[in-house]
């Protein structure tokens, strides 16, 4: 049973959330933060003031990153769908972090290029696929009936085009960019 405390400023919103969760099996709405497993709020709380640290879900149009840094387990917009809020309560209770896709994307590092500056040739794509299988330059050369020097040339060209420093990084970027499938 998930013990949920709802702590929002608007009485209308609080009543609506209470009605939503009272109809959910496995969730009990309680009035004490000290006994709660999950706290649903519209403000980022002061986590030091919470006696027992429940998982916190923030319904706010403020910065997701600052709420997460404060200790929130989920950040949803104030106008989130009821199904999203219910799912976030279940996820927070299980120790998971919940974000909307656009918020999640904004937290990812910008290191990956959106697309390659220069597209890979068909041969480079073939070599990249072999790299993904862990095949050495010597074996790539043998499989493609080319010299080992030419195989190394293709690998270096792939690294440069993908902005990668290692074969592993090139393969990872190739997968993320949809150039190869594993």
Predicted confidence (pLDDT) per residue in 64-87, tens digit = 777 777 778 888 888 889 999 999
Angle at 70 between CA 110 and CA 92, to 5 degrees: 90
> What is the C-alpha separation between 72 and 148, in angstroms, rounded?
53
The 8-class DSSP code of residue 10 comes to -
Helix, strand, coil shares of the chain, percent, nearest 5, are: 45, 15, 40
> What is the C-alpha separation between 159 and 161, in angstroms, rounded?
6
pLDDT confidence of residue 140: 95
CATH topology assigned to domain 122-176: Arc Repressor Mutant, subunit A (1.10.10)
Higher model confidence: residue 50 or residue 122?
Answer: 122
Tens of pLDDT along 106-142?
666 655 455 546 789 999 999 999 999 999 999 999 9
Q: What is the pTM of this model?
A: 0.59
> What is the C-alpha separation between 57 and 97, in angstroms, rounded?
9
Q: Which CATH class is domain 2-107?
A: alpha beta
What band does 157 get if pLDDT is binned at 50, 70 and 90? very high
Rounded to the nearest 10°, the torsion over CA 61, 63, 69, 70 is -50
Where do the structural domains in the chain lie, given as residue ranges?
2-107, 122-176
């Amino acid at each position: 049973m998930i013990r949920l405390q709802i702590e929002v400023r608007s009485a209308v919103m609080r009543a609506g959330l209470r009605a939503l969760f009272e109809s959910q099996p496995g969730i009990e709405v309680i009035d004490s933060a000290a006994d709660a497993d999950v706290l649903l709020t519209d403000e980022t709380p002061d986590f030091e003031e919470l006696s027992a640290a429940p998982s916190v879900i923030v319904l706010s149009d403020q910065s997701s990153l600052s709420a997460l840094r404060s200790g929130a387990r989920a950040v949803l917009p104030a106008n989130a769908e009821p199904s999203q809020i219910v799912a976030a309560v279940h996820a927070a209770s299980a120790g998971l972090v919940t974000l909307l896709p656009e918020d999640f994307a904004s937290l990812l590092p910008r290191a990956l290029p959106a697309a390659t500056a220069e597209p890979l040739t068909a041969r480079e794509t073939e070599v990249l696929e072999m790299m993904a299988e862990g095949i050495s330059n010597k074996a790539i050369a043998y499989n493609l009936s080319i010299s080992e020097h030419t195989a190394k040339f293709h690998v270096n060209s792939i690294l440069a085009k993908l902005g990668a420093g290692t074969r592993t990084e090139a393969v990872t970027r190739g997968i993320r960019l949809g150039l190869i499938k594993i």
